[in-house]
Structure 1
Amino acid sequence: MWHKHPKALPYLFLSEMWERFGYYLMIGIFTLYLKDVEAGFAMTEKEASDLYGTFIALVFLTPFIGGLIADRYLGYRNSIIVGGILMGIGYFLMGVHSLPVLYAAMTLVILGNGFFKPNISTLLGNFYTNDEYRDKKDEGYNIFYMGINVGGFICNFFGAVLYNLFGWQYAFMAAGVGMFIGVATFIFGIKHYGNHDQKKGVQEGDMPFSKILLFILLPSVVFGIIGWLVKGTTSDTNPDSYIFGSDSTDAFIFACVPVVFFYASLYFRARTEDKRPIGALLTIFAVVILFWAVFKLNGSALNTWGDRYTDREITGTTEAVFSSLKLSDKLAYKKDSVGKYDAQFRLQKVEGTVVKEVNYPVYFRNVKPDKLPAQNTEVSLWSPNLSQSINPGWVIILTPLVIAFFTFLRRKGKEPTTPTKIAFGLLISALSVLVMVAAVKAGSNGTEKVSVWWLVANYGVITIGELFLSPMGLSVVSKLSPAKITSLMMGGWFLATSIGNKLSGVLASMWDSYEDKTNFFWLNFCLLLSATALMFLLLKRLNKVMLEKGIR
């Protein structure tokens, strides 16, 4: 596999693998940690989902500025190293049980990802610009993407073991260790990067950085503050008069306005030959926002589904294996127990005031009465964060098959263009939501637990859509971007991811408001189907731009 690609690919693959090991380990336990009333912060589902959505949105918003700084000043190599170190420190600090420290740690991760994420993706694309490797770019990004998911698969097992043995702080520390291993791996491969990681400097016609600060970043901060302070109309369904659901959501959406305006201005200020490629990229960015809004539910709503609506009880040989590996924990059933997993809470009114009640057995609340264990009987449950490894596990299995499929079509001269792959990726992703609709029906709308195979099936389908879309998105940015703003346009891809991530948090925060959970998933299906329809409508125009550039 490697010998057909640049020598730098294995090092970038492993660097990204370890970086994603740290990130996905942290994401896999993040909302579980926030909601833990004993060792976490006792947040409600809405509070945890809102913070989760804001966090992952900002994580993918900073690549906008990180790509710009790398292009002009730091270069890719230095930016990737600085970003990795910042993220590693951030993960270590997350283990400190203090809300101010948690926010500081999140800030470091947000800034670090801004330097790391767009630049390692851009650096990879730079190796596929010559004739020897040009036609293998999509395949190279698929291999690179598999590295992301190898890290995402194995990390949750480490997270479960360390949490079960020692507590949340050690799981977060493992994320930091993984990040530092990624930085060391990247540095070890420097000799293979040649001049592909050199900064481009300020080019003729570029907007000066001082103007970017004055006309984009400063307005973004001002707009964000306005969004936080300005209130909408109070109503029975919106007593706090939020405009978009919460203060943080209002602030984020307002803050995005100047950045979105900046990317639109790139089109209008571009040279004639660059207008159509930039326009095509901006169109793709807009469409994939809805994909990320649904896909990123894996760390929030689907994490909750795996924790509370999935039958996690294990017996026999499976119990023995999981127990020996410390991937499970025992839970004693008591009507009003405050055990590890059921020490959650429900909201109830006490003399007119809404309070949190901790003695509510969340795990057992939707177990059929005839299947409840006897009082004080212990059952073994696999750790809920392990469900986060299902998606990356599917990526590892399916990536070679997808690569082989497109290689076969390429030899036949029938390989679809990159925009066509993205369009079908959206369609397949929409179909995956129907699996969860069926899962809700099977569990009688959450009143009964369902098999984990529903999650496995859902992730299996959406993973195919993901492989058609996500690595192809990185590839198309590398193909269509004007050379002097490649990293900046890669930041635009992550800006779209950021907005989608925040919308995902908004969707997840609505989970408890849907009495019929099928309606929650039908909403997700409609969003993805709308994006699919729009992408197919634009496909002819996008393919024409690709043809004009002499690429697929």
Structure 2
Amino acid sequence: MSTTKAKHPKGLPFLFLSEMWERFGYYLMIGIFTLYLKDVKAGFAMTEAESADLYGTFIALVFLTPFLGGLIADRYLGYAKSIIIGGILMGIGYCTMAIHDLTMLYVSMTLVIVGNGFFKPNISTLLGNIYSTPQFETRKDEGYNIFYMGINIGAFICNFFGAALYIMLGWEYAFIAAGIGMFIGVLVFISGLRHYKAFDVKKGVQDGDMPFSKIIYLILLPSIVAGVIGWIVPQALLGHPLIGTNSTDAFIFACIPVVYFYGSLFMQASKEERRPIAALLTVFAVVILFWAVFKQNGSALNTWADRYTDRHVSTPIAEKAFTSLSLSQTVTYKKDSVALYDEAFRLQKVNGQPIKEFNYPLYFRNVTPNQLPSEGTTVELWATNLSQSINPGWVIILTPLVVAFFTWLRKRNQEPSTATKIMFGMFISALSVLAMVAAVYAGNNGAEKVSVLWLMGGYGIITIGELFLSPMGLSLVSKLSPTRITSLMMGGWFLSTSIGNKLSGVLASMWDTYDHKANFFWVNFALLMVSALIGFALLKWLNTIMKERGIK
């Protein structure tokens, strides 16, 4: 396992690399997902709202299934088997996305959703377990930060592979590359089993636990029924969905039994366990709005990069580098009709009737006249999905600094509690949205393209918030959860992520309804700031519970 002089357990590098390759596959797929859905030639010609809604539903369900995967691992399969099964299912799902068929797309998405449910909560729980010995317990936050950097190394490099493959060969090759990355991650995990085998202990069914059969007919079946009701009833009674789309209503209704289940954990817990569970459920609720804003990176912020950011590769050296690596797309300027695609139309619906919307998308639509190239000039644009590497790039750069900062504070006995870090993460994330508000004004509300530096600045600030919040959330669950339901509570953390992810799709689907784009970002700012203030108001209570458990 580890020597007495080791700073971190020997299993950390294997879990780090397994998660790195898993995230390589996931973020490669997510980085091109909405672009693929909207592609009028090789995709499905979806509208902005349609693609954002499907994207939000997909990533919501991806983070909803860890609730079930964590429970099955805790009681029956153990963590290692669950991680291997989940990784294989995801790898198959990515590869089958290469088949251009709408039914197969949904089948592939289902495989990824189920696979992530088995993989995600259990590798995070296993990491916490290998830090559970007195020798490593004080380094748990640091271990999660390092693990989180592994996630983002995979998320950073994948977009370059994705861009080169879909530009040179087509979307299908990019999806296959995502699958191969996932299979590599599974092999790395298996190769390190000896280092964490001792920590892969099934908890079994404990006294007071709800039997799995009861979970099926009290939680899972009601979720399915509630989802169907949410899809049909509001539309039938009101003539329109309650919130956004039928899929959004269905998701919200389906979450009600799952939320009830987590509430029942609190109600049925012993007196000793009740306060820690209450603290965790509170944190889960507070961070939902963080994910609602943060997860717009694959939807609204991808749209910002595509339509409103100057992607022109303007210097000869850069142009040579981008073209040689196949990371750019060629666009020819024509005065009357300029499009990114040769056949520049997409299918739209107007009054229920399909029509063709021509000249979509127009890169030069919001380029100022003095910056327009000459008629017939060909220019190179860096691939839109490369903007998805900005956030993980910042994580790689900033993680050592954040870890060093908290290490410095720890040596002086001034390190804030894990809960305090999370609430400051919410506040810092709110400030990041102001950079995008400024970007809207700099571009005269989309009339002119703006520098990619605005996007980089916004991502840079929210990355600091992310590092204060996301790995700390995983650490908090590991510290506060009653041992018998650790992985299940890890699933609760991902449930809050799931709800936030769906809300991100709801928010992003309203992008085109805002005439002034600054108002879109002001709404995001207000949501994050209100959530942060609620978190700070609860902080004293949360820290008291942590002190009662003898942790920070």
Matched, 1:459 2:459: yes
| 3-state SS, counterpart of residue 458 of structure 2 | helix
1:294 is aligned to 293
Going from structure 1 to structure 2, the CA distance change for 1:341 and 1:292 (only over 3 Å counts) comes to: farther
1:272 is aligned to 271
What is the deviation of 1:374? 2.3
Match of 2:497, as an amino acid?
Answer: T
Match of 2:503, as an amino acid?
Answer: L
What is the deviation of 1:376? 2.1
Once the two structures are superposed, what CA deviation does each residue of 1:268-305 show, in whole Å capped at 9, x if it has no partner? 10000000000000000000000000000000000010
Going from structure 1 to structure 2, the CA distance change for 1:549 and 1:167 (only over 3 Å counts) comes to: same
Once the two structures are superposed, what CA deviation does each residue of 1:510-547 show, in whole Å capped at 9, x if it has no partner? 00000000000000000000110000000000000000
Matched, 1:8 2:7: no
Q: Hey, what's the Cα distance between the residues in 2 that align with 1:25 and 1:36?
A: 17
1:357 is aligned to 357
Matched, 1:229 2:232: yes
2:149 is aligned to 146
| 3-state SS, counterpart of residue 449 of structure 2 | coil
Going from structure 1 to structure 2, the CA distance change for 1:341 and 1:210 (only over 3 Å counts) comes to: farther
1:203 is aligned to 206
Match of 2:371, as an amino acid?
Answer: K
Matched, 1:403 2:406: no
What is the deviation of 1:339? 4.0
Match of 2:332, as an amino acid?
Answer: A
Q: 1:342, 1:363 within 8 Å by CA — same for their partners in 2?
A: no
- Counterparts of 1:25-174 in structure 2, within 5 Å, are 25-174=28-177
TM-score, length basis structure 2: 0.97
1:503 is aligned to 503
Q: 1:19, 1:151 within 8 Å by CA — same for their partners in 2?
A: yes
Identical columns (%)? 69
What is the deviation of 1:361? 4.5
What is the deviation of 1:336? 2.3
Q: Hey, what's the Cα distance between the residues in 2 that align with 1:101 and 1:349?
A: 27
Q: 2:295, 2:501 within 8 Å by CA — same for their partners in 1?
A: yes
What is the deviation of 1:370? 2.6
What is the deviation of 1:177? 0.4
Going from structure 1 to structure 2, the CA distance change for 1:311 and 1:198 (only over 3 Å counts) comes to: same
| 3-state SS, counterpart of residue 493 of structure 2 | helix
Match of 1:16, as an amino acid?
Answer: E
What is the deviation of 1:199? 1.3
What is the deviation of 1:201? 1.1
Once the two structures are superposed, what CA deviation does each residue of 1:444-486 show, in whole Å capped at 9, x if it has no partner? 0011100000010000000000000000000000000000000
Match of 1:144, as an amino acid?
Answer: F
2:426 is aligned to 426
Q: 2:338, 2:363 within 8 Å by CA — same for their partners in 1?
A: no
Q: Hey, what's the Cα distance between the residues in 1 that align with 2:6 and 2:357?
A: 59
| 3-state SS, counterpart of residue 451 of structure 2 | coil
Q: Hey, what's the Cα distance between the residues in 2 that align with 1:175 and 1:77?
A: 22
1:486 is aligned to 486
Q: 1:25, 1:175 within 8 Å by CA — same for their partners in 2?
A: yes
1:343 is aligned to 344
Q: Hey, what's the Cα distance between the residues in 1 that align with 2:342 and 2:390?
A: 21
2:219 is aligned to 216
Q: Hey, what's the Cα distance between the residues in 2 that align with 1:34 and 1:64?
A: 28
Q: 2:423, 2:535 within 8 Å by CA — same for their partners in 1?
A: yes
Q: Hey, what's the Cα distance between the residues in 2 that align with 1:513 and 1:346?
A: 19
Once the two structures are superposed, what CA deviation does each residue of 1:355-406 show, in whole Å capped at 9, x if it has no partner? 3313334211111123222222110000000000000000000000000000
Q: 1:34, 1:40 within 8 Å by CA — same for their partners in 2?
A: yes
Once the two structures are superposed, what CA deviation does each residue of 1:51-95 show, in whole Å capped at 9, x if it has no partner? 000000000000000000000111000000000000000000111
2:182 is aligned to 179
Going from structure 1 to structure 2, the CA distance change for 1:244 and 1:310 (only over 3 Å counts) comes to: same
| 3-state SS, counterpart of residue 356 of structure 1 | strand
Q: Give the length in aligned residue pairs.
A: 546
1:312 is aligned to 311
Mark the runs of 5 or more structure 1 residues left unpaired by the alignment. Answer: none
| 3-state SS, counterpart of residue 197 of structure 2 | coil
| 3-state SS, counterpart of residue 41 of structure 1 | coil
1:436 is aligned to 436
Match of 2:71, as an amino acid?
Answer: L
1:194 aligned to which of 194, 197, 220: 197
2:322 is aligned to 322
Going from structure 1 to structure 2, the CA distance change for 1:219 and 1:349 (only over 3 Å counts) comes to: closer
Q: 1:162, 1:168 within 8 Å by CA — same for their partners in 2?
A: yes
Going from structure 1 to structure 2, the CA distance change for 1:82 and 1:233 (only over 3 Å counts) comes to: closer
Q: 1:128, 1:136 within 8 Å by CA — same for their partners in 2?
A: yes
| 3-state SS, counterpart of residue 444 of structure 1 | coil
Q: 1:40, 1:97 within 8 Å by CA — same for their partners in 2?
A: yes
Q: 1:28, 1:385 within 8 Å by CA — same for their partners in 2?
A: yes
Going from structure 1 to structure 2, the CA distance change for 1:384 and 1:3 (only over 3 Å counts) comes to: farther
Match of 2:183, as an amino acid?
Answer: F
Q: Hey, what's the Cα distance between the residues in 2 that align with 1:66 and 1:342?
A: 44
Q: Hey, what's the Cα distance between the residues in 2 that align with 1:256 and 1:234?
A: 21
| 3-state SS, counterpart of residue 446 of structure 2 | coil
Q: Hey, what's the Cα distance between the residues in 1 that align with 2:127 and 2:530?
A: 32
Match of 2:337, as an amino acid?
Answer: D
Once the two structures are superposed, what CA deviation does each residue of 1:241-262 show, in whole Å capped at 9, x if it has no partner? 1111101101000000000011
| 3-state SS, counterpart of residue 231 of structure 1 | helix
Q: Hey, what's the Cα distance between the residues in 2 that align with 1:347 and 1:77?
A: 47
Root mean square deviation of aligned Cα: 1.6
Q: Hey, what's the Cα distance between the residues in 2 that align with 1:143 and 1:362?
A: 42
Match of 2:292, as an amino acid?
Answer: A
| 3-state SS, counterpart of residue 207 of structure 1 | coil
What is the deviation of 1:130? 1.6
Q: Hey, what's the Cα distance between the residues in 1 that align with 2:143 and 2:514?
A: 42
Once the two structures are superposed, what CA deviation does each residue of 1:405-432 show, in whole Å capped at 9, x if it has no partner? 0000000000000010001000000000
2:524 is aligned to 524
Mark the runs of 5 or more structure 2 residues left unpaired by the alignment. Answer: none
1:472 is aligned to 472
Q: Hey, what's the Cα distance between the residues in 2 that align with 1:540 and 1:29?
A: 42
| 3-state SS, counterpart of residue 355 of structure 1 | strand
Q: 2:275, 2:545 within 8 Å by CA — same for their partners in 1?
A: yes
Q: 1:338, 1:358 within 8 Å by CA — same for their partners in 2?
A: no
Which range is displaced more, 382-391 or 197-206?
A: 197-206
| 3-state SS, counterpart of residue 522 of structure 1 | helix
1:17 is aligned to 20
Q: Hey, what's the Cα distance between the residues in 1 that align with 2:236 and 2:532?
A: 33
Match of 1:301, as an amino acid?
Answer: A
| 3-state SS, counterpart of residue 313 of structure 1 | coil
